Structure 1
Amino acid sequence: MKLFEKLFRPRPPIRDREALADFIDAQSAFIVQKGIFEYSRARAGHYAKVLFAEEGFARSVELARWQAFPLGLAMVGEMVDVVLRPHAGADRRAVLDRIIMVVLSVFDRYPVPPSIGEAGWQEARRELERRLDLVGGHAPKRVMDIPDPLAESYFAMMPIHEKLRGRDFDTTRNYLRISLCNIHDELIERIDAAAVTGALLK
């Protein structure tokens, strides 16, 4: 009974900055990590358990996870802007600036991954900030289109040799599109957009 209640318990509403940060954190990690693990298992087939048990492959997966995390933050951060922009009015640039601060605060929750190093991690942070800053220069995208500029970089991070990837790019891009649309639907269901916009502007 407790398990049933846990599975079907309503997820908490998002009404403030901290709740928004937690949502961005969890969903950004989910979208990139799920894709990495599922793609790797699919390509390995019956040998997936053996492959994941190998120390060298485990290191490659760990590197891919941390390399891809900023891409997840960029996608989810832009999607949050799509949701909040209609509530921002004349303050839409100010709201985007606050969203960027929230996303970067999520990035800063984590210590430097040893597989990437200090210089690489700080460069990833700068690139994340740059990507989010560019969001203010164009009209809001359809949510399904947000992953498109990042999909190729994400696919290149897969811990599978490029010669074994075949023609899987379109599948990976579609995975990102569908996953981000699902994350968007959950955000719409949980967020009090007016309250969060007000909280960001305080």
Structure 2
Amino acid sequence: MALLDFFRRRPEASPEALGDFLHAQAAYVAQKTVLDYCRVKAGRSEKQLFADPDFQAALAHCRWQVFFSALTDVTALVEAHLRPHAPGQEAALAAALVPLHAAALLAEPPPPEEAASAEAARDGLPHHLASLQLEPPQPAHRQKLLAEPVLFATLPIHSEQRQGESLAIKGALRFQIVSTQQELERRFDAVKTADNLLNRR
């Protein structure tokens, strides 16, 4: 039993670890959702499609755009998860998440052509969290996802080739967000994390 305890990861609670989580999970959500769909659609032509410069440019744009919106969604998910542990300090909790979100946006600096979208995501987060706090916290399977319309707008597969696949695309994105909530619950002590965020100096 002692050996199992040694290898079992203790729950994390630091703002720094939470910031790393935001970036890593948003990047994973974006890449997994976009790349998996494109690879399935390409089928046996995957090698040729992914070697095409125009497709690569469109794919890169899609991945960045979905990352920006997914990062907001993951931050909103974290806010909803921690809010019950910050009674009366909801606004302070949201404010504490803003710099973590901003740092995650720049953990991998976007290319110049994507910089305006990154800034818009950064500037829009406080209002988004404030609007969410007007309602009870929502779990991942009910959360309204900002990444969803962005994904459909930027996927480098023509809309005519996606007919009848909307539910599958939405389901794939939702699955990644639900998995993110499960990973959040597994890795972080919600009470201590909320307390550390609120008392950060």
TM-score by length of 2: 0.87
Alignment of 1:1-202 (within 5 A): 13-116=11-114, 118-202=115-199
Contact 1:100 1:133 in 2 (8 A): no
Cα deviation per residue 1:144-174 (whole Å; 9 max; x = unaligned)?
1224454122222211122222122211111
- Find runs of 4+ consecutive structure 1 residues off by over 4 angstroms: 9-12
Structure 2 equivalent of residue 5 of structure 1: none
CA positional deviation for 1:199:
1.1
Which amino acid counterpart does residue 166 of structure 1 have in structure 2?
Q
Conservation of the 8 A alpha-carbon contact between 2:11 and 2:188: yes
User: Would you say how many aligned residue pairs link Structure 1 and Structure 2?
Assistant: 193
Letter matched to residue 192 of structure 2? A
Q: Percent same amino acid at aligned positions?
A: 30
Residue range with higher mean Cα deviation, 159-168 or 56-65? 159-168
- 5+ residue gaps, structure 1, are 1-8
Task: List alignment gaps of at least 5 residues for structure 2.
Answer: 1-6
Judge which range, 107-116 or 183-192, deviates more: 107-116
- Whether the 8 Å CA contact 1:100–1:129 is kept in 2: the answer is yes
Counterpart contact for 1:28–1:72, Cα < 8 Å: yes
Scaled by the length of structure 1, the TM-score of the pair is 0.86
With over 3 angstroms needed to count, the CA separation of the structure-2 counterparts of 1:121 and 1:186, relative to structure 1, is closer
